[in-house]
Structure 1
Amino acid sequence: MPIPPAGRTVEFSELAKYRRSIEREIARQYAAQRRRATPTVRPYLDILEEFTLRGGKRFRAICLLAGYHIATGRDPKAVVPAAAAMEHFQSWMLIHDDIIDHGEERRGGPTVHRRLAREHAESKGEGSA
């Protein structure tokens, strides 16, 4: 693999732009899934989207965009969907961790499994097997 030219960098101000583009892509992906989903599934997509966008530094995804730019010299717009996918995976890992650890809060709000349990209880078990 070729080594990028010496001195190629990413300005600090670009990192905030990268974060915004990642978050817009996450929202776009959830909107696309919501359009295809059945009415039964849409509330779960809403919960996952809210959790994913609620917080987080987007560090891994930002590193992907910055690394792409540094390595290629090109605008990282082409890899924003991959960066968003990294964030979906990160959310899944956090949700899994919260279930295993019996977590109550994450990113300043209830964990996904606690929120789902609360909503299930509020529905009085409607939809239970």
Structure 2
Amino acid sequence: MSEIPAELYYTKEHEWIRMDGDIATIGITDHAQDALTDIVYIELPEEGDVLDDMGEFAIVESVKSASPIFAPLAGELTAVNIELEDAPELMNTSPYGDGWIVQMRLSNPDDVSGLMSADDYRSMIGE
């Protein structure tokens, strides 16, 4: 059974979002990393990039496949987890901690109300 922290928001594309004011930290869910299996590489965006809602901003490669990561909301990247360049496996071992991918200042923080709750996400993945 996947870990699904109650305080986070989720997307249908298996990203999680942790809010701190108007800053969103974004990563992939435990369910996603388990489906991908061993993550071996991530193509990261640049700090300062402006992302559109549902715009692709990274590509995660595993021994199984390559998967795009989409911005759940629009905003400007304020931080990129460059540790993932040398240790992409952090997305497997700590998807909600050290395996975060980016932080962004949201264009409209109220847009998080359109994301899924932990219960909604759990139902979507059938757990």
TM range, smaller chain: under 0.3
**So what's the TM-score if we normalise by structure 2?**
0.24
Would you tell me which structure has more strand in proportion to its own residues? Answer: 2
The structure with more helix, counted as a fraction of residues? 1
